[in-house]
Amino acid sequence: MPEPLTAQQVSDYETQGFVTVPGLFAKDEVKLILDAALTDERLAAAAYSRTDRDGNETRMSVWDEMGDDIYSIAMRSHRVANAVEQLIGEEICHYNSKLNAKEPKVGGSWEWHQDYGYAYGYGVLAPKMATCFISLDPSNRENGCIEMMAGSHRLGRIDHDFVGRQYCADQARVAAAETKLSVVPCELDAGDAVFFHCNTLHRSSANRSDRRRWALITVFNALSNLPYKDGPHAGLHPVDKVDDDMLRASAGRLSATEKVFQGQAFNPAA
Ligand SMILES: O=C(O)CCC(=O)C(=O)O
């Protein structure tokens, strides 16, 4: 298996709980993804709003099955899937993917959380998961770039609960962690990626700017670690890897009719 990440990048991930990979996707590739996403009626129809504590709303479309659409092709590419296998250290499968659309002025914030805080509630036994976050627009603090708490993956799973309509990590514990660990705003160019461990605390601010902040995000799981119970994201969703150059060959491939979207916000009682 070709290994896209250097030993240093893997080591950074292990120490910090995340690693940023500038230019994982070229600008013309990002444009193809955006061109598709901006015209994809099924993606738009599947979107639901996620409201933050101030009433700002981010539109999210979430799906479990990888397909031949350009978003899946991006995440099935060797540069992503092999990198995730390097980080998880095992054969992987797909957990879920989403397109998070933070529109200018109205896009909402995410409180501190761990992706495993959600997956745990849905029956994933072990924190053998990693997320690939691809910025489709330049993102910075003004338009709500993603922020990581470096080293927080070493804290283990933190209890999560609802604060308003957001499911987030125990706030007293997060506040204590913040006194010991540094918060890194990941200011990204379009096409840059952040890979992060499922126990890494992350957040993002609302989009106060007049610039869009869209991101394509996939959570991968170890194949040996499928949820033990039925519910959202359960079942086996394989990652059929493709060559990196398939992305340009997939221009204009939108979501297929049979693609099933989640259609609702996280609900641990599901
Ligand atoms: O889009 C963002 O800024 C954060 C998204 C996130 O953390 C999530 O969807 O779990």
How many angstroms separate the CA atoms of 221 and 114, rounded?
14
Domain membership flag for residue 241: no
DSSP line for 124-135:
--S--EEEEEEE
Q: Tell me whether residue 113 is in a domain.
A: yes
**Mean pLDDT computed over 192-205:** 98
Q: Which atom of ligand 1 is nearest to the CA of 144?
A: 3
DSSP string covering 241-253: -B-TTHHHHTTT-
Question: pLDDT for 167-190, tens place per residue?
Answer: 999 999 999 999 999 999 999 999
For ligand 1, what atom is nearest to the CA of residue 131? 10
Higher pLDDT, 264 or 223: 223
- Which residue is associated with the tokens 């979501």? 255
User: Does 46 map to a domain?
Assistant: yes
Query: For 160, what's the count of Cα atoms within 13 Å in the CB-facing half-sphere?
Result: 23
CA of 110 to the centre of ligand 1 (A): 6
Q: How many Å lie between the centroid of ligand 1 and the Cα of residue 61?
A: 12
Question: Residues 80-133: pLDDT tens digits?
Answer: 999 999 999 999 999 999 999 999 999 999 999 999 999 999 999 999 999 999
> What pLDDT score does 269 carry?
62
Is 161 a member of any domain? yes
Nearest to 66 by CA among 258, 195, 263: 258
Q: Quick check: is 126 in a domain?
A: yes
For the Cβ of 100 lying below 6 angstroms from any atom of ligand 1, the answer is: yes
Q: Say what the pTM is.
A: 0.97
Instruction: Report the CATH number that the domain containing residue 54 is assigned in CATH.
Output: 2.60.120.620
The 10s digit of each residue's pLDDT in 217-250 is 999 999 999 999 998 999 999 999 999 999 999 9
**Total domain count, the chain:** 1
Residue 210: CB atoms within 10 A of its CB come to 9
Residue 124 placed within a domain: yes
135 occurs within a structural domain: yes
Domain boundaries, position 209: 15-223
**Torsion-angle region of residue 244: left (phi > 0), alpha (psi -120 to 50) or beta?**
alpha
